[in-house]
Structure 1
Amino acid sequence: MLPVLHGDVCAAARVLLRTPPTSREALCRRMIVEADVADRHLRRTGRPHPLFGNGSLMSAARKRVLADEPGFDDPDYCLCFETVLRALVARSQEVFGT
């Protein structure tokens, strides 16, 4: 997956905001896997993945419907943002073995 920036986390959190709370973690992990698959595809072929985009988390997220972006005064959005951050930390621990 390409380096993750604030916009990537925002896009993924906005997808999760439209998802039932019980399905958010699984969908978040799926978007991260899709970004990984797309990044490998791009490196191998020089072209974006036809379904998952260019290897960024934002591209994988934008293949779905995003909620309008609320502010951080929205507790549900904060939980979605946190879900994305936790999934990214878990991924980095798996990838780097920390």
Structure 2
Amino acid sequence: MRPVLHGDVSAAARALLNAPAGARRSLCRRLLSEAEMADAHVRATGRLHPLFGNGSLMSAARKRVLADEPGFDDPGYCRCFEIVLSALIDRQVSRAHS
């Protein structure tokens, strides 16, 4: 997956906000996986992945309908943002221990 920036986390959180609360963690894992697959495809072929884009988390998230971006005064959005950040931390910790 390409380096993750604030906009990537925001786009992923907006995708999660449109999903039912019980499906958000699995959707987040799926977005990370799709971004990783797309990045591998781009590196191997020099072309965008036909479904998931350029290998960024934002590109994978934008393949879904995104909620309008609320502010951080929206608890649901904050929870979604937290899910994405937590998944990214877990991914880094897992890779460090591999």
Give the TM bin, normalised by the shorter chain: over 0.9
The one-letter code matched in structure 1 to 2:5 is L
- Mapped to 2, the partners of 1:7 and 1:34 lie a distance apart of 17
- Mapped to 2, the partners of 1:54 and 1:87 lie a distance apart of 20
Tell me what 1:64 maps to.
64
Tell me what 2:2 maps to.
2
Q: CA deviation at 1:39?
A: 0.3
Query: Identity, % of aligned pairs?
Result: 67
Alignment of 1:8-87 (within 5 A): 8-87=8-87
Q: CA deviation at 1:96?
A: 1.9
TM-score of the two chains, using structure 2 as the length reference: 0.98
TM-score of the two chains, using structure 1 as the length reference: 0.98
Task: Report the number of matched residues.
Answer: 98
Q: Give the root-mean-square deviation of aligned CA atoms.
A: 0.9
Unaligned ranges ≥5, structure 1? none
The ranges of structure 1 where at least 4 consecutive aligned residues each deviate by more than 4 angstroms after the TM superposition are none
